[in-house]
Structure 1
Amino acid sequence: MNTSNFPCFFSIFFTVFFIARSSRIADVHSSPKHVALFVFGDSFFDSGNNNFLNTTRGYRANFMPYGETFFKYPTGRFSNGRLVPDFIADYANLPLIPSYLDPRTKRYNYGVNFASGGGGVLVETHRGFVIDLGTQLRYFKKVERSIRKKLGRCRARRLLSNSVYLFGIGGNDYIAPFEGSPVLKKYTKTEYVNMVIGNATKMLEEIYKKGGRKFVVAAVAPIGCTPNTRVKTGRQYGRCWDEPSALARLHNQLLPIALQKLANKLKGFKYTVADTYTVLQNRIDNPSKYGNPPNNILHLS
């Protein structure tokens, strides 16, 4: 993933703040406005969790050329530089949000990143190789207990309610049916997409019960046009694979409806949907407009 244009991509997340209005680095014990950023997702957001899994090379980014531009070494990010959560943290004057599985991560004052490259909402998606969303939620609950133990119930509740919960997941669930899974023989496309969204919104509701109130949910990207997907399909060089992207588009149509139902149900639940699909598709279709060379594989369709 080339991140040279990610500041433009990142601009769609400015509605998050939420963070910007209340976050300036301050000691968690002294600032009632202290904010943390908790990140859930897949390879678009994974800051290195997969480095600490007993998984295959295909699910890791701990080798060059990953990380070559900003960090100058592979960090486990599926990128040559920073990812969207890194830009958000920088914008909000937060430190880089650490990976949960990194043994060096001891404090959660400013949040933690649970994302896992290849991860999905459904536990069946790449089972045994990655961290599914349900497991990411269980990790979050462990963090919540740790924060509550350290700060006390009231302070912990205030921190969690002020914080932002960033989600970017679902794409792998829509690739899986075309990698040998028979799931679309059991469900219609709409039923399958509603199952993915239903499981995801249940996770958001669980975080709400722990005090979370502010959620940013990224739409699923045009996954049939990612370099990895194009290469895996063995299709004509550079050609997009529309079937997964069609599921992504259906997901993106139904997601805001589900989130609004959740907002109607849960008092104080706030959310924004980042239109990742349109932002990335524009860059694929009009590469030179965003400073990319016209012969890049990303924009051959």
Structure 2
Amino acid sequence: MGSLTHFTTIVLLISGFLSIQAEENKSSKPCEFKAIFNFGDSNSDTGCMSAAFYPAILPYGRTFFHEAVGRASDGRLIIDFIAKHLGLPLLSAYINSIGTSYRHGANFAAGSSTIRRQNKTFFDGGTPFTLEVQIEQFYQFKTRTGKFFLKANKSSYTRHFPRPEDFDKAIYTFDIGQNDIADVINKFGKEDSQASISNIVDYFAKQFQSLHYFGARTFWIHNTGPIGCLPVAMPMHNAKNHISEAGYLDKNGCVNYQNDMAKDFNEKLKDVVVKLRTMFPDASFTYVDMFSAKYELISNANKQGFVEPSRICCGYHEFGYHVYCGNNATINGKQIFTSSCEDPSKYISWDGVHYTEAANQWIANRILDGSFSDPPLLIEHACHI
């Protein structure tokens, strides 16, 4: 009887080991994403605002594309490096009607976009393409492409649009929230921001639920970066000078209270992601700590071959006057022409708000391997629940 018990124990141990091995093999298999659908603001806009309003001009795009292609950088964005890493083409902006292909996904991100609706026009720094609108655009895109594939002659559609089954096998990426935090900073300052940030995150959660209803199953969610480290927020480029205030700036010259608001947003967002995992056990939700990845770069700029993180490659930002890259202005009777620096690859900040291609690539390399993710998965394994 003892021998039988011993044998049974061995069998159970072997079975358990094989089960663990099978699970590991399952989780180690790449997801083979067929498409990317991206939602966000100017940090991942690949041409929406440029197609909708005023087209981008050089020196935007000078480094990689050698022409302006609607990206708020000298070259590629993080979403471009994500696509490259997954072996997919760079994403076309959803509303860009010229020379576009949506075979492997679409980009709904738009500059100035927010999670929550703002009472601003485009000319006041607002956008009609809030996250809610972007998701409605996605739903329309999915519905209309589905109808194409019901037609007898499908050959012309298969070259340009994702197949209906590709939507389930896609990764849905998000990089939005920075403009919401900036709005809270402008309206509330240090105090009374908690309720507003909670409201923004709650609204974000509803949009995830909408996308799940529309069939999304793999979510890759960036939190918001250190907004207080954007050069335009720093006192040296701003009319407001609080350098003498104790605790106003951190060791890198970043504005502490602005970064604290971003951290509050990020903590609430992570809590939401945890809840969504429980609500939707058929989906995978990866939370990506972009704040930490970007802050690591800013903290080690010189060691990584970059100039001081407060320096701006393109634009004029002095004494509280802001003339953004590609624009000209007259300030105190002096004509200001904004040209770009000689070597953007040495800079973290492209225009005071957005990152250079070199910085975007550095950050992408850090997040794609799961080092800043919860759970800590390679992006190509993000579909595993």
Alignment TM-score > 0.5, same fold? yes
3-state SS of paired residue (1:161): coil
Q: 1:54 to 1:211 in 2, by over 3 A?
A: same
Q: 1:183 to 1:145 in 2, by over 3 A?
A: farther
1:56-95 to 2 correspondences below 5 Å: 62-95=56-89
The corresponding residue for 1:214 is 218
Q: Which 5+ residue runs of structure 2 have no aligned equivalent?
A: 1-26, 151-161, 244-251, 313-347, 350-385
- Is 1:143 equivalent to 2:141 in the alignment? yes
| Off by >3 Å, runs of 4+ in structure 1 | 125-129, 181-185, 228-233, 235-239
The corresponding residue for 2:111 is 117
Q: Which of 72, 96, 100 is matched with 1:102 structurally? A: 96
For 2:169 and 2:180, locate their aligned partners in 1 and report how far apart those are by CA, in whole Å.
Answer: 30
Q: 1:229-250 CA deviation, whole Å, 9 max, x = no partner?
A: 3487434599433333211101
Given that 1:35 and 1:162 are in contact with CA atoms closer than 8 Å, whether structure 2 keeps it comes out as: yes
Question: What is the CA distance between 1:293 and its match in structure 2?
Answer: 1.9
Q: CA RMSD in A?
A: 2.9
The corresponding residue for 2:168 is 161
For 2:301 and 2:64, locate their aligned partners in 1 and report how far apart those are by CA, in whole Å.
Answer: 22
Given that 1:108 and 1:147 are in contact with CA atoms closer than 8 Å, whether structure 2 keeps it comes out as: no
The corresponding residue for 2:371 is none
TM-score (norm 1): 0.78
Equivalent pairs: percent with the same residue? 25
Question: What is the CA distance between 1:41 and its match in structure 2?
Answer: 0.5
Question: What is the CA distance between 1:226 and its match in structure 2?
Answer: 1.1
1:1-301 to 2 correspondences below 5 Å: 21-23=30-32, 35-54=34-53, 62-104=56-98, 107-124=101-118, 126-128=120-122, 129-130=126-127, 131-152=129-150, 158-179=165-186, 181=187, 188-230=192-234, 233-236=238-241, 239-294=253-308, 296-297=310-311
Q: Which amino acid aligns with 2:177?
A: G
TM-score (norm 2): 0.62
Structure number having the greater helix percentage: 1
For 1:195 and 1:45, locate their aligned partners in 2 and report how far apart those are by CA, in whole Å.
Answer: 23
Q: Which 5+ residue runs of structure 1 have no aligned equivalent?
A: 1-17, 24-33
Q: 1:239-275 CA deviation, whole Å, 9 max, x = no partner?
A: 4333332111011112111111111111312111111
Given that 2:190 and 2:257 are in contact with CA atoms closer than 8 Å, whether structure 1 keeps it comes out as: no
Q: Which amino acid aligns with 2:222?
A: A
Q: How many residues align?
A: 263
**Greater alpha carbon shift after TM alignment, 190-199 vs 103-112:** 103-112
Given that 1:67 and 1:73 are in contact with CA atoms closer than 8 Å, whether structure 2 keeps it comes out as: yes
